[in-house]
Structure 1
Amino acid sequence: MEILPLRLLSAVDTAEQDREPTDLELDAIEREMPVILAAIDLLDAQISTLDRTPTELDAQRIRRARRRLLTARRELANRTTAASLPGGAA
């Protein structure tokens, strides 16, 4: 996973804002999609308990969502590490 530097909005010109994502950027999003979806599931589970006392079922749902997110992150990290090794496959 590549960490992009944070730039102020004034530093980004309109031409860059209006451009379409490159194939490389789309591939990166595709690889990270399981992590994104797992993070959304966790957020949904946490939001559902904001206005009430969480039940044991809520706690289980949050734990499952956390495990799915950690698994997705681990798999992405392992794929990224394997691809960066000599002779590694993407």
Structure 2
Amino acid sequence: MTNSFPPAVSDRICRHMNQDHSDAVARYAQTFGQIPDATAATMLSIDADGMNLQVQVGEVSQPLRIPFDHTLVDAKDAHQTLVAMLQQMER
């Protein structure tokens, strides 16, 4: 696998995360993006090395790149990694 997912895979993951897990996306920004004041975030894209978010802090919107701790191999690995990141935040 190269360092990016096909656009359709990235789009599917982002659509799912934004529609069904928007609270988790905001928590990624707060914790892994080190923006504790983030009030909302949208996942713009995901690739093998990280995710790109648009983060809302008050009235300001800013881009944020969150790298993964390893290079993802496929969409299943992306799912497992995103879940593991959430579990890490709950500890």
Task: Please classify the TM superposition score into its range, dividing by the shorter chain length.
Answer: under 0.3
Higher normalized contact order (CA 8 Å, seq sep 6+, divided by chain length): 1
TM-score under structure 1 normalisation?
0.24
- Structure with the higher fraction of residues in helix conformation: 1
Structure with greater strand percent: 2
